[in-house]
A and B are shown apart, each in its own frame.
Chain A
Amino acid sequence: MSHTRQAPAGSPAPPEARAATLSLPETVDGWSRPTALRRIEAAGIFDYMDGAGELYVAYRFDHLDVTEYASPDQGEILVELYWMQTSDDAYGLLSGDWGGEPVALKEPVPAPGPRALYGAGLLRIWSDDLYARVLATRESDAARRAVLALGRAIVTGRRDPPPPRLATSLPQTAAELTLRPDSVCFLRSHLVLNSAYFVSQRDILSLGPSVEAVAARYGNARLVLVRYPHARAARLALEKFRTAYLPETRAGATGSAKIEDGWAGFGLSGRGLALAFEAPDRETAASLIAAAVQAIETLEASHE
């Protein structure tokens, strides 16, 4: 892995990095924008996009800058710059959907990728503490070129921290099952978890801004790996989950049960909690949980 100008992913970008911000061109090909960007603070996100603002707030959202490039005859290009508190949060937003064509906006390409995905006129970018959407209202070759040019302008000179360690710690295989990389979703909120994999209408895992979690798929089985701020929080969360979801299991650090859609189980280690869902049998559930617990123990041992 060759990281370019890497910095810790979970820590906020230094103020100078943010102040340097990015330099959006005033014109790109046949499109031009107003001089000033429109600023939407956290408190105003729901006015800007009622019903979608929760997604950004579910990560640690700071503010949004918006501008629109207009063209006399080629439609508009909307640029939304979601400034998050950390790179991990911006990564989380991109990880909600790994679909689209990976595009390289920098040379050399920061690894691991992808960090930018294009599809049907929409470019989505994770760049340090920034998640950006660049959307052409009318897709065309010219619009694609302009969108990618704007993407390059957005990432130029910015840091490329690695993905969240929790996400890259996931076991690649467990039992006979292999991790589906396109299913890895980093999250902090049960709303996002439910969007990736519905567990419960209520937050029965005590997720929140200080919690890191990742949901992933192994064949048809699912793994949810959560890291709490401290071990007590993890123990309490497990008890809440077990009571609400797997009451047929006994209290303890591990457990599993056959339920309506397969085998489900849990494993607790320190401040880490691993949950398996829809495993085909008890052994697979146990293997998945054991591999995840080992991954989080390795992560904890590295003091990251």
Chain B
Amino acid sequence: MSDRRVVTRRDFVRDTAGAAVGVSLVGLGWAEQAVRESRSADVILVRDQRVLSPSHDVDVSVLREMLGETVTRVTGKASPREAWRSLVKPEDTVGLVATPHLNPTHEEVIASVRAALVDAGVPAERIRLAQGGPDKAEACTALISLPGLKAHWLTGMGTVLKNYIMYSGHPSRYHDENNDRLGEIWLLPHVKGKTRLVLVDALRPLCDKGPQPDPRYLWDYKGLIAGTDPVAVEAVCLKIITAKREALRGEPWPLSPPPLCVQMADKRYGLGTCMMGEIMIKRVGWAEGTLV
């Protein structure tokens, strides 16, 4: 990727300072377009204090309530069944794309989504775990992205955008300095347009040193974060992680490296908005320590 300019700290500082007026790392063209299109996105944040026990075990009945609340808020439908039916059809082959290891998506979250899909009329045999190579995505007509919320030492964030890295078929090409390209994976022909819902498992996130878990940086947030705009969901996740880090240290403790992939997913790949001013966060449930 020698044709791309080197992004330095100076660019990032300039861009952060300029974000309020729409100046971006990749020039002013996007900013002008954004002003014209006046974008917006909803992100749903549902929390329930009862969902985890003191030993961090998941109460599945509470989780299912949270999940129902989440999908009805995302879709505006009256019931969870209607909500899921508006997201997927019975004839869809639905792939559940979870974080497989290193602070993985809770199995209870995956099982609850599966049960809800079956309840909505998707045959059980048409629901599959779809984390893995390109063939996993190719085999599906609809994807539900189910990443765990975590910081990542190589990319800043390792949640929504990074969740599809295996679909590239060449994950190492998106590691290291090339992580700003993660957004392009969402535009690959076998991936593009298939994601019906991004549902982040924020029951017990990891705010530093990810993906290898360090329990000092895990905390019981007891939340689900969802939307149909992956960049907006990631931006809200980033806000939560950043706020938690500052709360832990008692001083600014920005993610390092900065998660360039979030901004680039918006400005270079047009996957959604990372601008908090364009994101409407709808909060439901437990309010203490929401952080956003």
Same complex origin of A and B: yes
Residues on A facing B (Cβ under 8 Å):
46, 49-52, 54-55, 96-97, 99-100, 119-122, 135, 138-139, 190-191, 194-204, 244-245, 259-261, 277
List chain B residues, Cβ under 8 A from A100. 216
- B residues 1-44 touching A (CB-CB < 8 Å): 6-10, 12-14, 17
Per-residue CB contact flags for chain B residues 60-87 toward chain A (1 = under 8 Å, else 0) read: 0000000000000000000000000000
Q: Which 5 residue pairs are nearest across A and B when measured between Cβ atoms? A: A120-B215, A52-B212, A201-B7, A260-B13, A194-B257
Contact B180 A201 (CB under 8 A): yes
A201-B6 in contact given A49-B211, A121-B215, A260-B14 (Cβ < 8 Å): yes
Q: In the complex, A99→B152 CA distance in Å?
A: 18
Residues on B facing A (Cβ under 8 Å):
6-10, 12-14, 17, 55, 101-102, 152-154, 158, 162, 171-172, 175-177, 180, 208-216, 218, 256-258, 260
Q: In the complex, A194→B257 CA distance in Å?
A: 5
Contact A259 B216 (CB under 8 A): no
Contact A198 B258 (CB under 8 A): yes
A260-B17 in contact given A54-B154, A198-B12 (Cβ < 8 Å): yes
List chain B residues, Cβ under 8 A from A46. 172
Contact A201 B177 (CB under 8 A): yes
Contact B154 A191 (CB under 8 A): yes
Some 20 contacts from A to B, beta carbons below 8 A apart, are A49-B101, A49-B211, A51-B102, A51-B152, A51-B158, A51-B162, A52-B153, A52-B210, A54-B175, A55-B212, A97-B208, A97-B214, A119-B214, A120-B215, A195-B257, A198-B9, A198-B12, A198-B257, A204-B8, A259-B10
List chain A residues, Cβ under 8 A from B258. 198
Contact A122 B215 (CB under 8 A): yes
The contact of A99 among B13, B176, B216, by CB within 8 Å, is: B216
- In the complex, the chain A residue whose C-beta lies closest to that of B248 is A99
List chain B residues, Cβ under 8 A from A99. 216
Smallest CB separation, B233 vs chain A (Å)? 20
A52-B7 in contact given A99-B216, A119-B216, A201-B180 (Cβ < 8 Å): no
Contact B209 A97 (CB under 8 A): yes
Contact B13 A244 (CB under 8 A): no
Contact B216 A200 (CB under 8 A): no
Q: In the complex, A197→B9 CA distance in Å?
A: 9
A261-B6 in contact given A97-B209, A122-B216, A202-B177 (Cβ < 8 Å): no
- In the complex, the chain A residue whose C-beta lies closest to that of B180 is A201
Q: In the complex, A139→B213 CA distance in Å?
A: 14
Q: In the complex, A198→B14 CA distance in Å?
A: 14
- In the complex, the chain A residue whose C-beta lies closest to that of B156 is A198
Q: In the complex, A147→B172 CA distance in Å?
A: 34
